[in-house]
Chains A and B, each alone.
Chain A
């Protein structure tokens, strides 16, 4: 075995994140590490690379016991890692990020020219040609993700670890990543691959290890396992998959729409668009990365100032120039980047859930503690948020559970129009189905939803109507039976749709 982990344990205050986990990685295999949100995947990886001190257990690399005390040591041992939600350092240039720790030097000084050349070379493999001397922060999430992958590949002499690398990539980029991973596998590397996209797991990996609640459940060859069994390993129960034809058209034709946005736009950000939102309707927003979906949402919610346009409901014009006004108008918004714009990390789950509600009531009218606890418990149960207590700081939850907390915050507000920007990114299969079911449920009571997603299946399953965004313009609208993956792909892939690699 290239890498062996024996009875690894790790405990956080209040949480046994890992309990006696064994894991083997052979040279020349891609090994999937699967499990629900909070199962312990990221923790296992961080213990492996020295980012966390493990409490017990041993790690063998090439039969030698290793004990990396820092990620630098792990890198030196030939373990390259893409961490979940760590998109390198936005304030360094792309070239600096790529070569960090291995800068080409001359006379002890960093050789800028060689550094840039090296960086361009590394990115060329991924078909990317960008100005590597700009700050990484100037580029889209997708580019950052690819840079992180390129860097990890560069550092992986023996082992490459990818913790949800595909969460913000679209199909073309995923394909490119897979071809590189396969090449590395042929070169004899061992690759650990974490993902919630089971299709990708089946497509790419050789073996699968499933974790649940910090314990290893099973390791099997990918081709010996089927989807349903895999899911039941992960969840510990069967999953009723959301049937996609369950969605009945709730939009009653002819009825006046609940909300109307006319000519909403912002110069240089998104072209003016019209949008009608019916009661209980689910509207999908499809497009490539950087096409302008998030901007559409931000404009509606008042995060960005609109340079033109107006919004109306049946009572007349509504103001939504900033989030507070938008909230007052009954809008809600779960942002795409939950870490930066969503959670308040050091506040508890309870406080995060009631935050928006409390903000709307104003500081002078506090929710009673009992009421807060009731709300928190209700949504922890409803969304199956995995936390040891409602008082745990949200920052200590696993990524997917953090997402659920943000969702709970807005459900507690009971808005009439909820905007969900990539609500299922990084969420496990179980919760994924749960969230789709939830969308169905809330819209039955009349709430309208704008769903931004890169997963076409999800859009097809959940939406009454899908709007396709391309090059910062709303270019097409599909509804009813015309909502199919093929139709969406077709609308996205019109000529000239390849601008996603440009810096903002």
Chain B
């Protein structure tokens, strides 16, 4: 019996984030006991800022680790005998993306938490724990780690959704997420059990090798696994919790959920489909086709009748899941690269849109209704402009990353012969334009209402908005190598490299 050989680089990002969670918890305890520190009074906001900085620091480390892994182009596994976690380029890409998104959400949350008076240090700890779960999810090559990653991601988010304990809507959000989530977990688990039972393996390579294609039990297991993923990426018809949960949760949490969960789940789904079910995945396209079509259709159509911004963005995120699925339907390396690129853009444009709402939350009140934004262009022109930019990106207007993302996805679909799906995609995009445009209508073309919105953004919010705007534009204008310094920013190339090793 030999001691297992461990390669810590594979778990470095997760490790950093997990340690970060512990440090945050400790720091919170230490800080909240003191009245003054270095001669300055210790306030809640200050504590929050410090904790956010700590969290951001660890996330930055995780980002560095994953970026390093990406450039090193090694396929590090935690232990050779039983590789349950792999930090290859795909995992590094998703991990980095999740880290960036979490980092931005941390920065974004400081003022907001104080503003809605839920400024507790546990927030950052939970956020980091969930992030570590996502990272695990992204790299897992075994059903066990997949499951644990999923749960490690979900459980803190259940809590975060209900973080504003005094608000009934927040409670309800958490409860619904929890109920539907654990139900979905059970289904997923049953699927895993059946897969294990029919193949005798829980690792992806083993499943791939032993998958009995004609066995109905195996297929059932596969289907149940797929349902679990479909729930996480909120694909129709497993999406209904999304608007309720997004609406009820505090906006910063909604932001976090909307961007990171989807990225991690799609990353894992991508790996699962290509690695564990590679040869079989082709038979899946019909099913994915239907899911993608339904998701685009229902998400976009339902968003049309929403008056609540969070709810609208929730349906919009459902719709975007549909577009990402189009890339999966294509099933080609190109399609998978398009999926990753879409996720990259999606993170920044959605984060930007939510950040704008975060920056408007005022004295315990979220900025929720479209009407609340009336006349915003005059009171906060820069914010209105940025929000418009993000919405246009979400709508897929050229010049923004949203366009390139959709373009790549549809290109992959057309290339694989799924023209009908591409046409459905563009038609539903037209519908999406309608509801995205309602928001600029309120901001630019309506007289100010009586909604009391915050008049000043904090520097953290500004930073997040600026980063998102720059990235969205950059990805829109130079998705490949740009001139000068931008020559090294080759997002499309990265996406392609990330999926290259899967086949």
A and B together in one complex:
no
Q: Which residues of B are interface residues toward A (Cβ below 8 A)? A: none
